[in-house]
């Protein structure tokens, strides 16, 4: 009977040592943030931030288009300048709305909203700029490159 008690004590000690090592390892992982950075919430926050940053980049493009319309005589028809500037302002407001309202949404919702804005922007530039196709291509290339940077 004493040998069974001896083996039971050895098992309990081994279990305690193993438990302590597991606790130590998980504490170290938590401190390093290894698991925290890959949690679904962290991934969602990174995704949300990526789309917010992209909205700011698109807003920068809108500001640049506004300056071209106001000062560079880039529009086909100067009579449509006010309508064009109003459309840019509406898009900027929509982007701000997207940023504030979609913080809890999934990436598919972000992408559909941004696709709608970008499609409208492309149509607006193509319709109103003197060299609309080229200007639209340049904007698409710049935005594509910027979004690629955000993906990394």
Per-residue pLDDT of 5-22, as tens digits, reads 777 788 778 777 777 787
Tokens 């560079």, residue? 72
Are 49 and 77 in the same domain?
Answer: yes
**When comparing pLDDT for 19 and 35, which is higher?**
19
Note the pLDDT tens digit of each residue in 79-112. Answer: 888 998 999 999 999 988 888 876 666 777 778 8
Q: What is the pLDDT of residue 89?
A: 92
Q: Give the Å distances, CA to CA, from 21 to 15, 24, 78, 108, 144.
A: 10, 5, 74, 42, 48
Are 32 and 75 in the same domain?
Answer: no
Q: What is the pLDDT of residue 87?
A: 92
pLDDT band at 34 (very low <50, low <70, confident <90, very high): low
Residue 38 reports pLDDT greater than 80: no
Distance, CA of 57 to chain centre: 11
Are 53 and 29 in the same domain?
Answer: no
Domain, as residue range, for 137 = 42-151
Are 100 and 68 in the same domain?
Answer: yes
Q: What is the pLDDT of residue 63?
A: 92
**When comparing pLDDT for 7 and 58, which is higher?**
58
Q: Give the Å distances, CA to CA, from 88 to 6, 93, 96.
A: 81, 9, 12
Count of structural domains within the chain: 2
**When comparing pLDDT for 128 and 8, which is higher?**
128
């Amino acid at each position: 009977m004493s040998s069974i008690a001896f083996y039971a004590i050895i098992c309990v000690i081994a279990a305690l040592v193993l438990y302590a090592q597991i606790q130590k390892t998980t504490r170290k992982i938590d401190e390093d943030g290894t698991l925290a950075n890959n949690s679904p919430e962290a991934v969602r926050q990174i995704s949300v931030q990526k789309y917010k940053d992209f909205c700011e980049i698109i807003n920068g493009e809108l500001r640049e288009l506004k300056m071209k319309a106001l000062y560079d005589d880039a529009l086909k028809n100067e009579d449509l300048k006010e309508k064009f500037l109003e459309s840019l302002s509406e898009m900027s407001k929509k982007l701000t709305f997207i940023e504030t309202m979609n913080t809890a949404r999934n990436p598919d919702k972000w992408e559909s909203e941004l696709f709608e804005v970008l499609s409208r922007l492309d149509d607006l530039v193509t319709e109103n700029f003197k060299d609309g196709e080229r200007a639209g291509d340049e904007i698409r290339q710049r935005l594509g490159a910027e979004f690629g940077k955000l993906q990394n």
